[in-house]
Amino acid sequence: MIRDITIGQYYPMDSIIHKLDPRVKLFATLIYIIALFSCKGIVGLIVITFFLATAVKLSKIPFLYITKGLKTIVMLLLVTTIFNLFLTPGKVTFWHYGILKITDVGITNAVVMTVRLIYLIIGTSLMSLTTTPNQLTDGLEKSLSPLSKIHVPVHAIAMMMSIALRFIPILVEETDKIMKAQMARGADFESGNIIKRAKNMIPLLVPLMVSAFRRADELAMAMEARCYTATEGRSKMKPLHYEKRDKIAYVIIISFLVIVVAAGIVIPYPQ
């Protein structure tokens, strides 16, 4: 389960998605999330599905590898589905028991919210899998650069996000090592119900936090030893420049959002 976390990992491939400017991918992810949660019709959901499937195909990353991250949110998906299915009022009631009921609107909301969460994880994972942490930092800093005029520490924010993303796979690997070490000493993380498994994970927190703070301290000392300062005017080894494919991608992304919103207005979900 721990190794199924794909957020923050990079999957190297020679694809058009990997070659896009990181600013384009950040913008595309933002528009994708907006379209996903503003979609109001089945036609819009079909358009989102086609857009996502096309992006996955162009990235050349195995679909099964991208969907590995879904295993970590199974409980969230289950809770979301149950709450929407049994606690949503509607015009037609198929089953009723106390405060629990299954209605036509409840079924629709349960399906839509589950699909949205699945698509959200796949879409955001695709962005991180096709963008290196350095590219992501540069793209975020460049995108937020107008905020520096009002004294917002854009470079520091981008650097913190980059370090956080870099630490995700490191902490995942560290957690896996600690789990294996404790399992060799007789610890059991697999048997029992959900509550018992959660309690069994508590002994992992102390060594994991100690390791995280140690790595953070080592990183801070290394940056200070190299006289790192987040000052303005720092040069870039690989400056970002828009290519023709990036401009085409912007047009496609904006058109995608317009089509999804228009489709939701024309053919909304049944209420």
What HEC string does 23-75 produce?
Answer: HHHHHHHHHHHHHHHHCCCHHHHHHHHHHHHHHHHHHCCCHHHHHHHHHHHHH
> How high does pLDDT run on average in the chain?
80
Is residue 271 a part of any domain in this protein?
Answer: no
Domain encompassing residue 138: 2-266
Whole-number percent of the chain with pLDDT over 90: 13
**Would you place residue 268 in the very low, low, confident or very high pLDDT band (cuts 50, 70, 90)?**
low
First to last CA, the chain: 38
- The pLDDT of 85-91, averaged and rounded, is 80
**Would you place residue 100 in the very low, low, confident or very high pLDDT band (cuts 50, 70, 90)?**
confident
- The sign of the dihedral angle between the CA atoms of 131, 134, 137, 141 is negative
**76 touches 97 (CB < 8 A):** no
Is residue 185 a part of any domain in this protein?
Answer: yes
- The pLDDT of 24-43, averaged and rounded, is 88
Please tell me the least confidently modeled range out of 17-21, 93-97, 185-189, 265-269.
265-269
**pLDDT at 206 exceeding the cut of 70:** yes
How many domains does the structure of the chain reveal?
1
- The pLDDT of 190-195, averaged and rounded, is 67
**Would you place residue 235 in the very low, low, confident or very high pLDDT band (cuts 50, 70, 90)?**
low
Which pLDDT belongs to residue 182?
78
Please tell me the least confidently modeled range out of 149-163, 164-178, 190-204.
190-204
- The pLDDT of 161-187, averaged and rounded, is 77
Is residue 82 a part of any domain in this protein?
Answer: yes
**Buried-state track 162-183, b at ≥16 Cβ within 10 A, e below 16:** beebbbbbebbebbeebbeebe
**pLDDT at 158 exceeding the cut of 90:** no
Which pLDDT belongs to residue 194?
65
Is residue 172 a part of any domain in this protein?
Answer: yes
Which pLDDT belongs to residue 199?
72
Is residue 195 a part of any domain in this protein?
Answer: yes
- The pLDDT of 242-255, averaged and rounded, is 91
Is residue 175 a part of any domain in this protein?
Answer: yes
Which pLDDT belongs to residue 239?
74
**Would you place residue 166 in the very low, low, confident or very high pLDDT band (cuts 50, 70, 90)?**
confident
pLDDT digits (tens, 9 = 90+) for 129-145: 898 877 888 888 888 87
**234 touches 155 (CB < 8 A):** yes
Which pLDDT belongs to residue 232?
58
**Would you place residue 53 in the very low, low, confident or very high pLDDT band (cuts 50, 70, 90)?**
very high
Is residue 261 a part of any domain in this protein?
Answer: yes
Is residue 31 a part of any domain in this protein?
Answer: yes
